Structure 1
């Protein structure tokens, strides 16, 4: 049956790729139309310096706006297809893991995958008057939100009797609504039962599902001087840090200063961490039930 499931998933991806290809061609057509509309508007505005033909100018403005909105609509459809492809592949990965059909991945490739995952996290593009939704950038999840199977989370787990608890990068395996407890896997020990933990909801923080655009939604990012939990580079552990600089563009990362007593200032030199791996600071619980 796993082969049948793989075939179905592959066909679903191919169907969406075909649709995406058509949308890309449509985007190009809409872009050309939009550019032509803007050029016509600019030329007319320059030639009509007296401003006597205001009605014609208004008509050209309306046409240019309509063409831009049509282009935006097609782009959003294309982005939706990309999201659907990501979801299909992730769902198949989860099914393969459940069926114990997944190869063990070494630390190096995992680090590259985590970096790629952060870079390709969907970008939230707001419309006029819209507010960024929960789990977009720094916007927290709703109080009753439950992370889905396969979602990445920060999980507070007991490392050892001497080292106490640490926030680690983990993946949701299941959630028990009766006990309000998560079952999560340490991201580096996905095939190892020793890397599995049972945790209360307060010990699990969902990671952002979308990136925020600093140019359109700066309020959805942690501001300079904010205390956060950041994934320390080349590790799978979250540590307390101070935001030195928020991302200037949607392609950039946070500049964080990690708490470190070995430095005179109490913080490390700047490190760069992707939006996906920067979350609100949360104190450790007194004891873990994992």
Structure 2
């Protein structure tokens, strides 16, 4: 009976692998099509932007804003806004496709494990050098996608910094997900932590999160947070300001200590 169930699980896993591969191929084709549409929209909008620039140059030459130019510019800017929104919608759809592909790849990994194609019983990975690990963390932070807002179980956790016992099973309430998007301070400042807000942040050159206060939020999408880590070795109980990438700053539910 146990062998029969095992065989059924393997068959189901193989079928899931085939289904995932097929769907991933479809999504990649859709993603390629969306990227082509993005380039088309961009080319069209660039032509309109050139017309806006030329119109402004003519206005400067005549040194006046006539009703004709006012009406023409209003139409050009309306078109430019519509072009930007169309390109933005396509990019959102492309990001959704990428997220779905990533989810399917994880489902495929689990199915492969059940089917025996992949096994966690393989020899433990070698301990990663600290410098390499820090570089990977920084690269992950830099490649975090920028979120573009519109006008809303148990976990298996791999510990890559612990040799021989890399996997742990945790309940959802004991896991704080890292951000999936990078917030733009210029368009979505409310999505960022504000000054003196209590957070958990990744201490530089480590893989550990510690309590900290926001010293200054990012001013541009590529900027880091400036945070003050709790540190009793300093008179005021906090370290000097240190920079931490958006990806590695999360909410802390505990109250700020007095």
Q: After alignment, is 119-128 or 182-191 more displaced?
A: 182-191
* 2:239 counterpart SS class: strand
Distance in 1 of aligned mates of 2:110 and 2:212: 32
1:101 matched to 2:101? The reply is no
1:18-167 to 2 correspondence within 5 Å?
18-47=29-58, 49-53=64-68, 54-95=70-111, 101-102=119-120, 104-105=124-125, 106-108=127-129, 113-128=136-151, 133=152
TM-score between both structures, scaled by the size of structure 1: 0.64
Gaps of 5+ in 1: 134-174, 176-181, 285-290
Distance in 1 of aligned mates of 2:19 and 2:163: 25
- How much is the aligned-residue C-alpha RMSD, in angstroms? 3.4
Gaps of 5+ in 2: 1-9
2:157 is aligned to: 185
Larger % of strand: which?
1
1:196 is aligned to: 168
TM-score between both structures, scaled by the size of structure 2: 0.71
2:187 is aligned to: 216
Larger % of helix: which?
2
Give the C-alpha shift of residue 34 in structure 1.
Answer: 0.6
* 2:211 counterpart SS class: strand
Flag the structure with larger Rg.
2
Give the C-alpha shift of residue 101 in structure 1.
Answer: 2.0
Q: After alignment, is 28-37 or 119-128 more displaced?
A: 119-128
